[in-house]
């Protein structure tokens, strides 16, 4: 591991961090929501997203980097934000689902701009599966809003 990260290493660490953050975010928002059906769906999304943590961690290690951890203070602030949204929003369900979609947009953008898929076929396979998961998650969340 070098002191200076390559673009691929930085991308890998960022993608891993965002996979973990979005997984945790869905779990936190499921805890905040009072609608048991939607909370269950968010838990299901979190469980599915969690399956990408270990492969992403393996990718980062293969790049010669140390796996990153999400910022616990940031996650705490997101949870508090979700609780506040739930308390003050006229339609807290849609507001929280919109927040989930915005969190996923960060991960989708990181996947879109990275060149990691060009480095190794396994990375391309992982990134493609993750992009597919994000697309399906977006569709599921939009359906919950209707």
Q: What share of the chain is helix, strand, coil (3-state, %, to 5)?
A: 80, 0, 20
Residue 2 falls within a domain, yes or no?
A: no
Residue 125: give its domain's CATH number. 1.20.1260.10
- Please, what is the Cα angle at 137 between 9 and 141, to 5 degrees? 135
User: How many domains, in total, are found in the chain?
Assistant: 1
In a domain, 21, yes or no: yes
Is 18 within the bounds of a domain?
yes
pTM assigned to the model = 0.84
What is the structure's pLDDT at 80?
Answer: 62
For 53-99, what is each residue's pLDDT tens digit? 999 999 999 998 776 666 666 665 666 665 655 555 545 788 889 98
Domain that holds residue 117: 7-145
Over range 98-118, report the average pLDDT.
Answer: 93
Is 1 part of a structural domain of the chain? Answer: no
126 lies in some domain: yes
């Amino acid at each position: 591991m070098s002191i200076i990260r390559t673009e691929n290493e930085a991308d890998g660490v960022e993608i891993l961090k965002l996979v973990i953050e979005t997984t945790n975010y869905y779990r936190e928002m499921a805890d905040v929501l009072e609608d048991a059906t939607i909370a269950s769906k968010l838990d299901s999304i979190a469980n599915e997203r969690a399956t990408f943590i270990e492969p992403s961690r393996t990718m980062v290690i293969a790049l010669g980097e140390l796996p990153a951890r999400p910022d616990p203070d940031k996650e705490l602030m997101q949870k508090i934000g979700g609780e506040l949204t739930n308390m003050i929003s006229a339609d807290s369900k849609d507001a929280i689902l919109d927040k989930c979609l915005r969190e996923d947009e960060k991960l989708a953008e990181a996947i879109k701009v990275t060149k990691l898929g060009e480095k190794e076929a396994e990375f391309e396979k992982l990134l493609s599966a993750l992009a597919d998961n994000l697309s399906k998650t977006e569709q599921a969340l939009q359906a919950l809003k209707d």
